[in-house]
Amino acid sequence: MRISIFGLGYVGVVSAGCLAKAGHTIIGVDIHPQKIEQVNGGKSPIIEAQLGELLRDGVENNRISATADCNEAIFNTDLSLICVGTPSQANGNLDIAAIRHVCTQIGAAIKAKNQQHMVVIRSTILPGTTANVIIPILEAETGGKVDEAFNLAYNPEFLREGTAVDDFFSPPKTVIGVLNDKAAQQVTKLYDGIDAPLIVTTIDISEMVKYADNVWHGLKVCFGNEIGNICQAQGIDSHKVMDIFCQDTKLNLSPNYLKPGFAFGGSCLPKDTRALTYQAKQLGLNLPLIESILTSNQQQIQRAISIISSKNKTKITVLGFTFKAGTDDLRESPLVELIERLIAQGYELKLFDKNVSLDSLIGLNKQYILNAIPHIDRLMVDTIDEAIKGAEIVIVGNNAQEFADIPSKIKSDQCLVDFVRLENTTHLKDRYIGINWIKDTQTNV
């Protein structure tokens, strides 16, 4: 494939060398004469293992060249990668001036070419930038519409400095965000022969994935450091602690606990987070990440309150209020706190949870719920149908199997507030509210 790469910085020049090695013909485009001269001379403008050799081989085999001429690049290629920088502004927002500038140039060149061209964004951009900035610029400059004058995709990179070449050929995943199947087929060809999960999705999801990845990496670094701070203050070997921690790939290093949903609760997580935070303070340590966990958890409960309040309804049913399905443990259940707060605000509640029987609760579990909701027995009903009858808002609080078909039971005058992401909710339209996900869950291209 003939490919032009706009921006010969870190991502652009690594992409150029690797794609040339894969057999593609590359024209690099940059505004800096020094970079153009280095690339044309087969030299790397950055220090990166293996890259110099790839660029030298690419130039010698007439697979890599560089220019400052946008028209030359567009006229002689079928697909363009945009890899220009998006640095931070003083206020934390991204500076996308280079994106705007290069899209203006590319759009004008496509118009002069008078032939459909494939544009692929590799630069890191905030969700919505492609739809709200890039497409409008390209449509204005080409004088045509996306999928007519040009096609478009977003293809985030997952390259680490120092191992970028290895990461290109052996990535954790390849993500391609597109508007149509034709774009998916074109961009997929770039990665023929690369053994990695290939994920084709929507453009907004692909934009967000890059940020989820990078912020998660930053979060892991800070978590490891804060655990290390506590360990050091007590003479504990922090690396041995985290070596053991990382051996747990069932819970610690896994998809578990990472899906958006409601707040956490139970007898362990809140208590142990508070205890470790307390100990850190006793040791004179400031651990802003760990200290913020319970605050963030509380905000999810407040989010649910705000959603319910916005509906201006008073009759509420809560289905499932133990801290998770398959248990009768009510201790520090965020759903119990939600119920408490709704009662305090004057809502009329009915509760159902087949695992909760006041007669069978014992010890701290019973003491907790009677202290939290003294008259809970007056609110509990025996069946799901009884609970739903007459309700204006139905809340599904945990993912017990008996709640799977609740969407089919919701009447035309009822709203469903979902904390667990139930299936088959499309027919409810605006009467369905996910706690932190959109109503339309269809993401296939």
In a domain, 257, yes or no: no
The DSSP 8-state label assigned to residue 146 in this structure reads B
Pair 232, 309 in one domain: no
DSSP state of 329: -
State the Cα–Cα distance between residues 83 and 100, nearest whole angstrom.
12
Question: To the nearest 5 percent, what fractions of the chain are helix, strand and coil?
Answer: 45, 15, 40
CATH number at residue 43: 3.40.50.720
Confirm whether 268 is a catalytic residue.
Answer: yes
Count how many residues are written for the chain. Answer: 445
Residues 361, 228: one domain?
no
pLDDT band at 440 (very low <50, low <70, confident <90, very high): low
pTM of the predicted protein model: 0.90
Examine residue 372 and state whether it is found in any structural domain, yes or no.
yes
Please state whether 171 falls in left (phi above 0), alpha (psi between -120 and 50) or beta.
beta
Q: Domain count of the chain?
A: 3
| 318 sits in which H/E element | strand 315-319
Report the distance separating Cα 332 and Cα 366, nearest Å: 12
- Inform me whether the pLDDT recorded for 287 exceeds 90: yes
Q: Which of 18, 83, 246, 268 is catalytic?
A: 268
The Cα 22–Cα 24 span in angstroms is 6
Are 80 and 73 spatial neighbours (Cβ–Cβ below 8 Å)?
A: yes
State the residue range of the domain holding 320.
Answer: 296-434
Same domain flag for 146 and 241: no
Model confidence over 318-371: pLDDT tens digits? 999 988 888 888 888 899 999 999 999 999 999 999 988 877 777 767 787 887
My answer on whether 90 and 164 are in the same domain is: yes
Pair 195, 208 in one domain: no
Span 9-65, pLDDT tens digits: 999 999 999 999 999 999 999 999 999 999 999 999 999 999 999 999 999 999 999
* Within-domain flag for 441: no
Residue 255: what are its φ and ψ, rounded to 5°? -70, -15
